[in-house]
Amino acid sequence: MKEQIRQQAINLGFSVCGFASAAPLDNLKKFYDGFLGEHRQAAMGYLERYAAQRLDPSLLLSGVKTVIAVLMNYYPPRLIPEEDNFILSKYAPAKRYPPFIKRRLEPLARFIATTGMDIRSKIYVDSGPVLEKAWAQRCGVGWQGKHTILINPKAGSYFYIGIILTTLDLEPDPAETDHCGSCSRCMDACPTGAIDRPYQLDISRCITYCTSVKNAVMPGEVLRNLKGRIYGCDICQDVCPYNRFATPTLETHFHPHEALFKMRRKDWLDLSREQFDLIFAGTSVEEKGYEHLMRNIMNVSLITSSLPTDSCPPPVPQGSAPGQQPS
């Protein structure tokens, strides 16, 4: 039965599928409590509000027996040029993934429901209080690297994670072990020092958090080190040796809009709302809004202009109109 479910997942477009017992993640409680105790969650208060549910899936689905983790590749078939350009994370131009992956998981959940009487399942994709990366590691589909992102040993880290909790009792797969060893490339490469210790992230100093979360405070140390990035980052992933195995996704849902390959710095500075709506329709960038992206563009433009290297202009406030100078 487990292999039938795994094959169904592959047929639905997932790269890999693994299984784990739904026993609570008690081994992570001390780590998680310490993370919250140091307020490393920044403004993401939900990480603390639902801490108990994140560690114990029985609080999300009564009678849960098995956790199923799947990975879906989003590595783009072409990379957007970075010369004379602002930089987007590889996930940013892709259409939003949670609803897409949920739709792919629904037939898998229906298949599971046919395997016995009163089998119940719940689907989670970047939603609900689920420690997706921890469960993916326990399911054997990867391990959480020193940059805190899940790494699959055969295909790298450019994956979205889907989770199914189910009352169907299945034999677990072996958990994946850590293969980072003494490598610290991700930590060394992070320009803001957000990965200030192995396997931990100071979210408030993460470029992805500061550029992609609405109303996120952008500290000066982040502003000075954006490295041209206007939405997301990828630096820690790009330097990871395991991403030499990354292959382009076949899912056109995640392919960037063709116009992005022609964009250069001047085009971004002149970006109209109509162009924004066309290029980013259905993406997380569109969800955050035109003003949010233009704020990021203005911040990067200001910091990379001919200013003394020891100075730093204040970030453009959230909601400022394009071209408006910070007050």
Model confidence pLDDT, tens digit, residues 4-62: 999 999 999 999 999 999 999 988 888 777 777 766 666 666 666 777 888 899 999 99
Give the count of alpha carbons within 13 A of 13, CB side only.
Answer: 21
- Confidence at residue 292, expressed as pLDDT on a 0 to 100 scale: 96
- Confidence at residue 324, expressed as pLDDT on a 0 to 100 scale: 38
- Confidence at residue 313, expressed as pLDDT on a 0 to 100 scale: 46
> How far is residue 36's CA from residue 72's CA, in Å, rounded to a whole number?
29
Task: Please confirm, yes or no, whether 126 is among the known catalytic residues.
Answer: yes
Q: Determine the Cα angle at 58 with ends 53 and 62, to 5°.
A: 130
- Confidence at residue 45, expressed as pLDDT on a 0 to 100 scale: 63
> How far is residue 136's CA from residue 162's CA, in Å, rounded to a whole number?
9
- The structural domains of the chain, with segments of one domain joined by +, span 2-76+94-166
Question: Which tokens hold the place of 100?
Answer: 């897409």
Sign of dihedral through CA atoms 214, 219, 220, 224? negative
- Confidence at residue 217, expressed as pLDDT on a 0 to 100 scale: 86
- Confidence at residue 303, expressed as pLDDT on a 0 to 100 scale: 81
Q: Which burial class, exposed, middle or buried, applies to 228 when counting CB atoms under 10 A from its CB (0-12, 13-18, 19+)?
A: middle
Phi, psi of 17 (to 5 degrees): -145, 135
Number of residues that this document lists for the chain = 327
What are residue 197's DSSP bridge partners? Answer: 200
pLDDT by residue, tens only, the chain of 327 residues: 999 999 999 999 999 999 999 999 988 888 777 777 766 666 666 666 777 888 899 999 999 999 999 999 999 999 999 999 999 999 999 999 999 999 999 999 999 999 888 999 999 999 889 999 999 999 999 999 999 999 999 999 999 999 999 999 999 999 999 999 999 999 999 999 999 999 999 989 999 999 999 888 889 999 999 999 999 999 999 999 999 999 999 999 999 999 999 999 999 999 999 999 999 999 999 999 999 999 999 999 988 764 444 444 445 555 443 333 332
Give the count of alpha carbons within 13 A of 216, CB side only.
Answer: 28
- Confidence at residue 28, expressed as pLDDT on a 0 to 100 scale: 84
Q: Which of 126, 169, 238, 267 is catalytic?
A: 126
- Confidence at residue 52, expressed as pLDDT on a 0 to 100 scale: 83
Residue with tokens 């955050």: 288
Distances (CA, A) of 127 to 16, 18, 75, 192: 20, 19, 22, 28
Distances (CA, A) of 84 to 169, 212, 232, 266: 54, 22, 18, 9
Sign of dihedral through CA atoms 95, 99, 103, 104? positive
User: What letter would DSSP give residue 220?
Assistant: H
Around Cβ 60, how many Cβ atoms within 10 Å? Answer: 17
- Confidence at residue 34, expressed as pLDDT on a 0 to 100 scale: 77
